[in-house]
Chain A
């Protein structure tokens, strides 16, 4: 599904930055996202400032109202809602960014090799890609998330590591998320590899890795950046869904998704608790989508409308 928005192209706005700045929603989104990231990074400082701790359980102060010590009140275990949301934001943003990056790297490598090799290799790789795209993602992710790592033969130190659910989610998302970038890169590589400057590089005796990574890859930077930015939002949504279902990030490590799970269980007692984490996911995802849209305007203005009609 395309998230591209067509907007008239201003021929006077020459530089990439100028074009991005013209996309007002993208600029606002970038600012909001910057604030969110800063707050998440400052979580320990804010925690110290408030004099509370994200994991302090205080059963006497359950469902506390907003106060100076707890700006957003307390949850069903008397923990500070704001601090937990900030720590949850660290986790959700970390998963969103690293998983997308990993998927983009895998997708770029596969697309480059398939496109450059062509022929049978290309056909086979694309069949596999089509197969992965055809899979019902969420049910499959649930199975993957339920797999017992011990039975996979991984060493116990990894299986029982504290943050294993974090890395498992990143790995799972990367495993199914590479297809969009792979198709994009492969299609562009196919058309680039017959261009004169590539033939010139080959004639000069550059080996195929040099041609792929020095000559073809830099020309693909724009579409890869745009596609990757647009998928960060999806990945954050996916993480939150899995965590919400109890299969993603495992408590006590907070993520926006698993904070919502707790909030749904107490929806009758404290309906407000369900509001904040969902709102944060919503704002973050929509911000990434707008930024991706703005980047598309800025980096790739001509391809934008064409792609909007082709992609899904």
Chain B
């Protein structure tokens, strides 16, 4: 177990390192550099000034040497300064990260509260009218463009009915208590929930159908147990194993979903931070945000593997590795 964990953490660190090289390189390929932006902001900068500034910021160095410099300071805890937000990178990330976690955790909880019962219900009545209906709804949830869904929600609840704000946060509107924040959270959470619930429902259904086909379920039925005892008492625990794994694996997908939702609703979370920092040429911030997103996804994968083996005694850690 511990050897497995150490090896997997080591693998994840390698992926993270490779990602940091790739992202740094890609960011170097984006149009313009910080000095270009300064020049466009201040017409008095001469080309000598620009050259001197490039020297000060180390931008005259080749990409690899800049990367090594960045890596050196990052490893000692100095992640640099965000030009866009005029504060250290970490200070810009912390509030955004907490906003995103609120969004992700509440929509994931909500999605699972709908998806798991719906999937189980459909699986116990395969090919029935209700199964058909649940399947159709799940397909619709998977296929709906998430940003369009956001726009439709804004149209209905903000533009037409006027019940909820179209976007932003309570802080921006000059209020900040928990209660005042809720209206701003409703539409993003609903939007993200609808986007996620379909996949989980279909997966729960498939896993439950597969489980209900097992011999030990036939045994349980033969003993005369009621349908609910068979499904909830005997099948559910086994059917949940792949579902838990997929939920963990989906962390990265969820993060991408949050990016879209946050952009549509102007919600100041990690997704919007990533988007704004890339668009605004804020190298330091973009790099750390992207690495954080990667690390989160890798952690999800790691957690999925550990959970898989922990939940299913038939599987040893060696099997996963193979």
Contacts and interface: CB of A to CB of B under 8 A. Distances in A.
A203 interface: no
Given A140-B290, A274-B155, A147 B145 contact: no
Given A274-B151, A278-B152, A309-B206, A136 B293 contact: yes
B260 A143 contact: no
A312 B203 contact: yes
B124 interface: no
Interface in B122-162: 126-127, 135-136, 139-140, 142-148, 151-152, 154-155, 159-160
Interface stretch (B48-56, B168-176, B271-279): B271-279
B293 A260 contact: no
Contact of B202 (A1, A240, A241, A274): A1
Contacts of B136: 25
Contacts of A309: 206-207, 209-210, 242
A106 interface: no
A267 B151 contact: yes
A179 B147 CA distance: 25
Interface in A260-312: 260, 263-264, 267-268, 271, 274-275, 277-278, 281-282, 285-286, 289-290, 305-306, 308-310, 312
B66 to A, nearest CB: 15
Given A2-B202, A2-B203, A278-B145, A264 B151 contact: yes
Contact of A136 (B144, B249, B290): B290
Nearest to B151: A274
B148 A131 contact: no
Interface string A1-28: 1111111100000000000000001000
Contacts of A306: 210
B155 A267 contact: yes
B139 A139 contact: no
Contacts of A6: 126, 206, 209
A12 to B, nearest CB: 17
A147 B30 CA distance: 4
A278 B148 contact: yes
Contacts of B139: 3, 286, 289-290
A137 B26 CA distance: 15
6 contacts: A1-B203, A2-B203, A271-B159, A274-B152, A274-B155, A305-B210
Interface of B: 11, 15, 18-19, 23, 26-32, 126-127, 135-136, 139-140, 142-148, 151-152, 154-155, 159-160, 199, 202-203, 206-207, 209-210, 242, 245-246, 249-250, 252-253, 255-256, 259-260, 263-264, 271, 274-275, 278-279, 286, 289-290, 293-294, 296-298, 301
Given A134-B298, A139-B290, A233-B143, 18 more contacts: A3-B202, A5-B202, A6-B206, A8-B127, A130-B301, A135-B297, A138-B255, A139-B255, A139-B256, A139-B293, A150-B31, A244-B145, A271-B160, A277-B148, A278-B145, A282-B148, A305-B209, A309-B242
Interface of A: 1-8, 25, 127, 130-131, 134-140, 142-144, 146-148, 150-152, 233, 237, 240-241, 244-245, 257, 260, 263-264, 267-268, 271, 274-275, 277-278, 281-282, 285-286, 289-290, 305-306, 308-310, 312
